[in-house]
Amino acid sequence: MRTTETSAHWGSYLVDSDESGVVAVRPHDGDESAAAMGNVVDGVRHGSRVTRPAVRRAWLEGGPGPDDDRGRAGAEYVEVEWDTALDLVAGELARVRSAHGNEAIFGGSYGWGSAGRLHHPQSQVHGFLNGIGGYVRSVNDYSRGASIVLLPHLVGAPAAADVRQRPVSWTQVEEHTDLLVTFGGVRRSNGWVVPGGQTRHVGGALARSAARTTRVVSLSAQRDDAMDGLDAEWVGVMPGTDTAVMLALIHVLVVDGLADEEFLARCTVGADRVRAYVLGETDGVPKTPAWASAISRTPAERIRALAHEMAAGRTLVNVVYALQRGERGEQPVFAGLTLAAFLGQVGLPGGGFTHGLGSMGDYGVGRVAVPLPTFGQGANPVPDHIPCARIADLLLTPGADLPYDGGSLRLPAVRLAYWAGGNPFHHHQDLRRLRRALARLDTLVVHETHWTATAKHADVVLPVAASLERDDVAAGNGDTRLRASPRAVPPPGEAREELWIFGRLAERLGSSHDHGLDARAWLERLYEDWRSTGRAPAGAPAFAEFWETGGVDLDAPPYDDPVFTAFVRDPEAHPLQTPSGRIELWSSSLEAAGLADVAPHAEWREPRRWWGSADAATYDLHLLCNQPTHRLHSQLDMGAASRSTKVAGREPIRLHPADAAARGLADGDVVRVVSAHGSLLAGVHVSDALLPGVAQMHTGAWYDPSAPEVADCVHGNVNVLTPDEPTSTLSQATSGAHVLVRVERYDGPLPPVTAHEPPPLTRG
Ligand SMILES: Nc1nc2c(c(=O)[nH]1)N[C@H]1C(S)=C(S)[C@@H](COP(=O)(O)OP(=O)(O)OC[C@H]3O[C@@H](n4cnc5c(=O)[nH]c(N)nc54)[C@H](O)[C@@H]3O)O[C@H]1N2
Ligand SMILES: Nc1nc2c(c(=O)[nH]1)N[C@H]1C(S)=C(S)[C@@H](COP(=O)(O)OP(=O)(O)OC[C@H]3O[C@@H](n4cnc5c(=O)[nH]c(N)nc54)[C@H](O)[C@@H]3O)O[C@H]1N2
Ligand SMILES: [Mo]
């Protein structure tokens, strides 16, 4: 038996392995909040592993070209030798490049594959594609796609970066904050995840410790959104309606004389116009607590009292990421910042505005993010790009102009997409539409560890080694240690490192990127570059010793001067990078953009579809689609922890007892869930932790289209239900966090779940 350390986005663990493979994966001693994501042991050697290069038979025989059959359930794949597969991929890249140019290759490849610094799939695929002349890229992310674009308009780009990198920390909350008002949950399970992983899970522990001194009010549609130990007061709010509640809180501050006029006058612009809007002077609708209550179902009296509580002491307004993953998702962020400004506490220790406490384990840990060894990607000569959530528009409407951030982007005609390290059938919305979009491609190449739905839509699938099967180094943002993550077990079958695959393709195509080294030599080079350019901590040992001892402590000092908070109160000395140098509650750059759907100030508009709309007659439940507790996105969904949550073999749907009773449903029943975009089967779990009228399912169940006569997905992938509609023309981000649905009992014969099975394979 051998023990090694492994790093994943869900943390750093000890791996016990022997000749039979991985025997156990255990947390480090003292990691009391280790993630309950024990999917690795049986997930990594599951029958759904891709073990040989495989080519879709129809593409192999018919050649490249658009194909409505791409992704058809049961479509056959032919397993081929590596040389054959590499020749096919190189030949197709060469054809597309010479016939259509590099702007016909999409390499955005969004996703959360592997935490390692070397084998990070996006760095690998981008480096390779840059080396052969470039690719159409994607910008922003699915996490904060709306606020990434919005916040620079309001506080300038550097301060917007600080809102992510150096926010008010949990330690400052513990020391200074009387009241933390969080819109959306501070969830224990979300804090387990950090891009790049974490040496020890600290986010949850810091939050619990902060709660000893700080009162927490959680505004959410779910009581258990706030982790145990926070002892939070739950205030119910219907999904997608927080902006109305925030405007009403501002209304009370204004009317009851609690707004900080001195701060507003000195450090912000536009407060007068916001005041006129909330008082109803501009549209005849005063944004009173009673008005907000009719929209949000939050009791008006609780809103009124909360405004007074917020003004009475040091208050921090937190808006979690999920709120901006909805129609006009910029608005709750805009309104949250505006509310914090009216309280006048932005820039006071422990006060003001945060955007992500509880969303990610590295948020607010209070440590400076230090530079880490990085695999260089080179330069991309192709200028074309999309906001990542517009992938289906890119493929369905080549040549169209996409409005974005006040300008517009011309969508190029893409023929070939190359995906490594992401699962669009997990992350994208309206999967019927995504399938129509992928059908337009000549060729889809996918690198995968497992036969995901994305792999099952590919024309060529190349099998890659998983994190446990290769040497790497890892650390997260603000982490305290750079860890060696040595290979624990060999890869199965013929799976190879991405590094190897791109090296072989580069030999065939010629490349300006350096593909000459093997993994160990690359690691040594990345590490020694880092050391010799002064980015490593003083006294960091040479590579051999680092590898031998398993890591090096990082010099990530605590920050006690979040720049956003410190500077913002003195705009004369430290102007923000906004046109006025101040926080823009009325943004002159948004005003200049003149968008129909985003005003220059925080604003409530009725969503196209929501619980109060005409659609609600057909679709009468508001479904929350949030991050899964027992897995990272869709990864290792076949593993034990993820499986343990399933009901009747399907992804569970939580329903309020009143909603379950009205439909004659009980725990364990199977239901059909239907939206305007698609349908799925799910297993019922009745819970009074929800508001009536609200249902909840986690993202990440593998897409299973094998019985379309029953439902688009018989396993419960929520993204068959969600709309592929942008947040707004400003940010063009995903709006997949919620959708209106109808839930009905399903009594028909239960189709088997085949999502975790490989496709039919034959040897070529
Ligand atoms: N409805 C709805 N949809 C959402 C969200 C939501 O809230 N609601 N959340 C969104 C958010 S915030 C995000 S970040 C996205 C996440 O979307 P993704 O990041 O695309 O989801 P993952 O399941 O993590 O996909 C990673 C894939 O990489 C593979 N992989 C792992 N390691 C490697 C490797 O070394 N090489 C290669 N080639 N592959 C590897 C895994 O098997 C997996 O299939 O989902 C988004 N989608
Ligand atoms: N265990 C686990 N943790 C993860 C991930 C994972 O896959 N698994 N993914 C990671 C990633 S990539 C990201 S981006 C973050 C995302 O972090 P978040 O976006 O914060 O996470 P979610 O779980 O989608 O949403 C948190 C809660 O917000 C509430 N909520 C949703 N919409 C609304 C709304 O309109 N109003 C209010 N008041 N509340 C609302 C829901 O009740 C939900 O439980 O999570 C990270 N953490
Ligand atoms: Mo995310």
- Tens digit of each residue's pLDDT (9 = 90 or more) over 400-425: 999 999 999 999 999 999 999 999 99
Q: 189 CB less than 6 Å from ligand 2?
A: yes
Report how far residue 730's alpha carbon sits from residue 681's, in angstroms, rounded to the nearest whole number.
Answer: 35
Shortest-distance ligand to the CA of residue 111: 1
Cα angle 372, 376, 378 (rounded to 5 degrees) comes to: 150
Q: 487 CB less than 6 Å from ligand 2?
A: no
For every residue of 283-350, DSSP letters joined together read: TS----HHHHHHHH---HHHHHHHHHHHHHS-EEEEE-GGGGSSTTTHHHHHHHHHHHHHHT-TTSTT
Report how far residue 423's alpha carbon sits from residue 631's, in angstroms, rounded to the nearest whole number.
Answer: 14
Span from the CA of 700 to the centroid of ligand 1 (angstroms): 8
Q: 250 CB less than 6 Å from ligand 2?
A: no
Report how far residue 47's alpha carbon sits from residue 627's, in angstroms, rounded to the nearest whole number.
Answer: 25
Shortest-distance ligand to the CA of residue 40: 1
Helices 271-278 + 242-255 axis angle, to 10: 100
Shortest-distance ligand to the CA of residue 694: 2
Report pLDDT for 566. 64
Span from the CA of 703 to the centroid of ligand 1 (angstroms): 13
> For residue 696, which phi and psi values (nearest 5 degrees)?
-145, 135
Q: Are 360 and 552 in contact (CB under 8 A)?
A: no
Q: How many Cα atoms are found within 13 Å in the side-chain-facing hemisphere of 296?
A: 33
Atom from ligand 1 closest to the CA of residue 116: 35
Single-letter code of the amino acid located at 112? W
Report how far residue 464's alpha carbon sits from residue 120's, in angstroms, rounded to the nearest whole number.
Answer: 12
Helices 330-343 + 242-255 axis angle, to 10: 20
> For residue 680, which phi and psi values (nearest 5 degrees)?
-150, 165
Report how far residue 472's alpha carbon sits from residue 755's, in angstroms, rounded to the nearest whole number.
Answer: 30
Atom from ligand 1 closest to the CA of residue 722: 1
Span from the CA of 495 to the centroid of ligand 2 (angstroms): 33
Residue nearest to atom 39 of ligand 1 (CA): 421
Place of tokens 């610094």: 117
Span from the CA of 112 to the centroid of ligand 3 (angstroms): 8
- The token duo for 17 is 């392995």
Q: Are 364 and 182 in contact (CB under 8 A)?
A: no
- Length of the chain, in residues: 764
Nearest Cα neighbor of 55 from 18, 27, 93, 82 is: 82
Mutation probe of ligand 2 site: the residue of 144, 246, 359, 691 with most atoms within 8 A of C-beta: 359
Q: 628 CB less than 6 Å from ligand 2?
A: yes
Residue nearest to atom 20 of ligand 2 (CA): 359
* CATH topology (fold) of 2-141+371-553: Rossmann fold (3.40.50)
Atom from ligand 2 closest to the CA of residue 632: 7
Cα angle 156, 151, 595 (rounded to 5 degrees) comes to: 105
Mutation probe of ligand 1 site: the residue of 138, 142, 447 with most atoms within 8 A of C-beta: 142
Nearest Cα neighbor of 116 from 369, 360, 368, 374 is: 374
Q: Are 671 and 599 in contact (CB under 8 A)?
A: no
Span from the CA of 284 to the centroid of ligand 2 (angstroms): 35
Report how far residue 757's alpha carbon sits from residue 56's, in angstroms, rounded to the nearest whole number.
Answer: 16
Helix (H, G, I), strand (E, B) or coil at 215: strand
Shortest-distance ligand to the CA of residue 361: 2
Span from the CA of 308 to the centroid of ligand 1 (angstroms): 42
Report how far residue 690's alpha carbon sits from residue 170's, in angstroms, rounded to the nearest whole number.
Answer: 27
Residue nearest to atom 10 of ligand 1 (CA): 142
Report pLDDT for 563. 58
Span from the CA of 245 to the centroid of ligand 2 (angstroms): 19
Shortest-distance ligand to the CA of residue 445: 1
Mutation probe of ligand 1 site: the residue of 431, 434, 699, 718 with most atoms within 8 A of C-beta: 699
Q: 188 CB less than 6 Å from ligand 2?
A: no
Residue nearest to atom 19 of ligand 2 (CA): 322
Residue nearest to atom 24 of ligand 2 (CA): 626
Structural domain boundaries of the chain?
2-141+371-553, 167-366+564-593, 614-745
Mutation probe of ligand 2 site: the residue of 201, 622, 623, 626 with most atoms within 8 A of C-beta: 626
CATH 3.40.228.10 corresponds to the domain 167-366+564-593:
yes
Span from the CA of 359 to the centroid of ligand 2 (angstroms): 6
Shortest-distance ligand to the CA of residue 320: 2
> Within 550-689, where are the H helices?
563-567, 588-593, 640-643, 657-662
Span from the CA of 627 to the centroid of ligand 2 (angstroms): 5
Residues with CB under 6 A from ligand 1: 111-114, 119, 121, 142-143, 325, 420-423, 426-427, 429, 447-450, 452, 464, 498, 625-626, 632-635, 699, 718-719, 722, 736-737
Which residues in the chain come in under a pLDDT of 70? 562-566, 611-612
Residue nearest to atom 30 of ligand 1 (CA): 113
Q: 350 CB less than 6 Å from ligand 2?
A: no
Residue nearest to atom 16 of ligand 2 (CA): 359
Mutation probe of ligand 1 site: the residue of 426, 498, 624 with most atoms within 8 A of C-beta: 426
Span from the CA of 634 to the centroid of ligand 1 (angstroms): 6
Shortest-distance ligand to the CA of residue 639: 1
Residues in CB range of 58: below 8 A, 6 or more apart? 67, 69, 75
Atom from ligand 2 closest to the CA of residue 320: 20
CB atoms within 10 A of CB 109: 25
Q: 342 CB less than 6 Å from ligand 2?
A: no
Report how far residue 553's alpha carbon sits from residue 234's, in angstroms, rounded to the nearest whole number.
Answer: 40
Which is it for the CA torsion 623, 629, 635, 640, positive or negative?
negative
Q: Are 340 and 346 in contact (CB under 8 A)?
A: yes
Q: 132 CB less than 6 Å from ligand 2?
A: no
Q: Are 204 and 239 in contact (CB under 8 A)?
A: no
- The token duo for 414 is 């893409």
90-99 as b/e: b if 16+ CB within 10 A: bebbebbbee
Residue nearest to atom 18 of ligand 1 (CA): 111
Span from the CA of 516 to the centroid of ligand 3 (angstroms): 33
> For residue 521, which phi and psi values (nearest 5 degrees)?
-70, -40
Q: 239 CB less than 6 Å from ligand 2?
A: yes
Atom from ligand 2 closest to the CA of residue 225: 44
Single-letter code of the amino acid located at 254? V
CATH annotation of 614-745: 2.40.40.20
Report how far residue 479's alpha carbon sits from residue 199's, in angstroms, rounded to the nearest whole number.
Answer: 7
Q: 438 CB less than 6 Å from ligand 2?
A: no
Span from the CA of 247 to the centroid of ligand 1 (angstroms): 34
Q: Which residues are catalytic, by number?
A: 110, 112
Domains 2-141+371-553 and 167-366+564-593 share a fold: no
Q: Are 236 and 300 in contact (CB under 8 A)?
A: no
Helices 289-296 + 242-255 axis angle, to 10: 170
Report how far residue 101's alpha carbon sits from residue 381's, in angstroms, rounded to the nearest whole number.
Answer: 11
Report pLDDT for 265. 97
